[in-house]
Amino acid sequence: MAHPQKPVLLTGASGNLGRVLAQGLAAQGWTLRLTDIAPFPDPLPPRARFVQADLNDGVALLRQAEGCGAILHFGGISVEQPFETVLGPNLRGLYHVYEAARREGARVLFASSNHAIGFHERPDASGPQGNAPKLDVDCALRPDGYYGLSKAYGELMGRTYWDKHGVENVNCRIGSCFPKPVNARMLSTWLSFGDLIRLATAAVLAPRSGHCVIWACSDNPASFWGKDHRDRIGWQPQDSAEAYRAEVGHIVSGDPVEERYQGGGYASIGYSRSAPSPRDAFALD
């Protein structure tokens, strides 16, 4: 199998998706440098080394990135948390990642999220505004919380480092990456582990990426999302959530806010509006 000539740094290696990537990429013969604030819970894969470090420690991250050709940034807070909790790892830590990439001339794969656009309505949303179209990647950023806000910030940082320093970056708006879908929403947002590994592989090995944004979901007919830049890196998902429709298609939350917005349950956390916001981000109620 093809593998990069230089080592690849994977942050967040001890998390659920980091562990999937570590095993999957190592199986392809990649040389990996793994890092996380938490110990790595699995046996180290071949050609991998692990260093426990905090994303807030810029010097440690620079050391880990030395000689690397790509950084897969999956580290940081991965769920909705208070702003002060998100601030350090997700904002300052991301800056350290991009500074390391700038110094090494490395490409960044940034694990962005659907929660960066989570307050867009779902394509089948009901109400006086009618059905919403599928979103393309040039849609407005509409984060559904502090976690989503940090992901929007990350995409904008990638844009800045591309414009100012020529740092290539692939921003993957991950939907729901689990072994299988567990509810009706995931029939639209599910990303299989296999498609995640293939996406990371394509993002690193593509001859050129520039600054691009990709809807990171499997080949789901019910997807909320439309055009993106996947052709630039040659990625096409091979799995589909549709096979699970009979199993999970009836599972909904009963929360009208959660079911209205693409971000699902994250949109309803701390929600205090008496009526939905308008579809146009700048329109009055």
Catalytic residue from among 98, 147, 153, 161: 147
Interatomic CA distance for residues 97 and 270, integer angstroms: 30
Residue 95 annotated in active site: no
User: Which residues neighbour 224 within 8 Å (Cβ) at sequence distance 6 or greater?
Assistant: 114, 120, 122, 123, 134, 135, 188, 189, 262
CB 234 within 8 A of CB 90: no
Interatomic CA distance for residues 282 and 100, integer angstroms: 36
Q: CA dist 271 to 16, 120, 241, Å?
A: 28, 15, 29
Length of the chain in residues, anyone?
285
User: Which residues neighbour 251 within 8 Å (Cβ) at sequence distance 6 or greater?
Assistant: 182, 183, 184
Catalytic residues: 147
